A and B are shown apart, each in its own frame.
Chain A
Amino acid sequence: MSAATATTATAAARIDSPGRRALRKLLRRKAAVFGLCVVALFVLVALLAPWIAPNDPVKTSWTAIRKAPSALHWFGTDENGRDILSRIIHGASASLRAGVISVSIAVALGVPIGLLAGYRGGWIDAIISRVTDAMLACPFLILAIAMAAFLGPSLRNAMIAIGISATPIFVRLARGATMATMVEDYVEAARAVGNPRWRIALRHVLPNIVPPVLVQATLAIAMAIIAEASLSFLGLGQQPPAPSWGSMLNAAQRFLGQAPWMAIFPGLSIFVVVLAFNLLGDGLRDALDPKGR
């Protein structure tokens, strides 16, 4: 090893990158680590579903209708004799995909629009802000339901509807963060040395709005998972017989007296995964807060 690389190595050890510093702070928070582990567990379950699910999630069995939890069916069976544990394991993928994809849509649309509004100001900002206000004026879930209804019921359309309904949150966030960053000295310096506008926006402003967007995105995934479950509960999301936690709850409601386990386990899964994302989001917020360094 040469002397030069050794110096850079020690320098790197001394001056942490902001990302690494945030990660270290995040890992110090037990609740956030717990959230992260649960999220990782559900991701694993979703990925390995075909191998770890004990039964076929869509195979009906007329000899095992609404059986209570037992050694054979840990979470019981549903009204068509399908194994609830297997359906929950396969349903994890629909929930997580809906959460991640719809939030990705919202971020991909919202952040550039918000950056543009905050950076350019003037009439562009005025129009974008009014449209954002208008979208925020329609309660999130109602907008998502209305949009999903017009697009037609399917998991893909539910994700689009949830993503677009969540977009104004990110527009507003990115716009505010951009405006706060624009008055910083380093942006002024970048402008003074003659950087073109797009370069200032992408190289100097954008990295500074990443932390709040990351926090909001994590919390938005929790919201989107509930929204997907809600739409599926109403029949506007994942279509039968493919399993989804929301539609399982819909079926369960009809057999509440006879088969309460049909309602307990899918709801518990939604609760646990949403709680995990909320814990992770809260932890990220504390870890990325520049005041708390």
Chain B
Amino acid sequence: MLTFLARRLAQVVPTLFFVSILIFCLQQLLPGDPALVLAGEERDEQALAEIRARYRLDQPLPVQYLYWLGGVLQGDFGESMRIQRPVAELVLEKLPVTLQLGTMAFLVACLIGIPAGVVAAVKKDRAWDWIANGVALWGLSTPNFWLGIMMILFFSVELGWLPPSGYTSLREDFWQSIKTTIMPAFVLGNAIAAVLMRHTRSAMLQVLGQDYVRTARAKGLAEKVVVVKHALRNAAVPIVTLGALEFGQLLSGAVLTEQVFTIPGFGKLIVDAVFNRDYLVVQGVVLVTATVYVSLNLLADVAYILLNPRLR
């Protein structure tokens, strides 16, 4: 277990190293002089010279990269040009909002995806299986920002049940917070539910064909007990690990969902940064997202081992 962890950690470091190079290289895609772009409105020579000196744009690329990486490793992602605040501070401020949204979405996904997958596997090739597969296909094919717009149209504009946009934090007002996040959480969770359902179905089908399930049935256990205690428990391992990976995809989905529902989270931060040509914020957000994703990957692997006694 420890050697495995050590080996896995040793893999994470080069991955993150390449991530940092990749994100640093994004800057090179900017057409023209980066100093001009970074300066934004101020275009006088002195400001440009200051920026060139500050970001070491006059030095060779590898040197620039090392300075940038040095800053990042100390938690210094640079400063947002538009609001003159450190990028790290902005990220930390927005992260809890997206985390709340993501957790709720993940709950929605598990509550829909796992039972649907179990039912589909148990009733393979029958009506329930077809329905569950159809719903999953629907979930995978609906662009989530459109689903968000349609939900606003129905629940906010037509019925007036839920606020169409905005966000209240949990600490401020619990129920209001749930009201502002339930629609975006459903929108985000919907696509993940589809993926989880497919994983659950195939994991369950594999397990249901095993000898110990036949033994459990043969000794006269109720079908419910066989399915939940014997089959689902064993199928849980791949479901949990794949689920953790999907959590990373939530961050991707959050970008558009937060935009549609004007929720001031991580996704809104990157979109606003893109519109304001606030490139250091874009770089910072992508880097943090990638780090979160890599960590989740690692956690998924650890969970896989912890949940599976044969691998311990």
Contacts and interface: CB of A to CB of B under 8 A. Distances in A.
Contacts of B30: 150
B78 to A, nearest CB: 15
B143 A230 contact: yes
Q: Which of A146, A226, A270 gathers the greatest number of chain B CB atoms within 10 Å?
A: A146
B157 A260 contact: yes
Interface in A137-169: 137-143, 145-147, 149-152
B143 A137 contact: no
Interface string A32-57: 00000000000000000000000000
B145 A230 contact: yes
A145 B153 contact: no
Contacts of B9: none
B128 interface: no
Contacts of A135: 22
A263 B260 CA distance: 12
Interface residues of A, number: 44
A176 interface: no
A137 B19 contact: yes
A134 B19 contact: yes
B55 interface: no
Nearest to A160: B29
B21 to A, nearest CB: 8
**Majority-rule SS of B interface residues:** helix
Contacts of A139: 248-249, 251-252, 289-290, 293
Contacts of B23: 138, 146
A293 interface: no
Contacts of A257: 157
Contacts of B283: 146
Contacts of A133: 11, 15, 18
B281 to A, nearest CB: 10
A82 to B, nearest CB: 19
B260 A146 contact: no
Contacts of A92: none
Contact of B286 (A143, A234, A260, A266): A143
Given A135-B22, A142-B270, A235-B275, A267 B255 contact: no
Contact of A230 (B22, B27, B142, B256): B256
Interface in B65-88: none
A137 B153 contact: no
A260 B290 CA distance: 37
Contact of A142 (B143, B150, B251): B251
Contacts of B17: 134
A180 interface: no
Interface string B2-37: 000000000100111111011100110111000000
A271 B145 contact: no
Interface in A244-293: 249, 252-253, 256-257, 260, 263-264, 266-267, 270-271, 274-275, 278-279, 282
9 contacts: A130-B14, A137-B19, A137-B294, A139-B249, A140-B252, A146-B23, A147-B26, A150-B26, A278-B141
Interface of A: 130-131, 133-135, 137-143, 145-147, 149-152, 222, 226, 229-230, 233-236, 249, 252-253, 256-257, 260, 263-264, 266-267, 270-271, 274-275, 278-279, 282
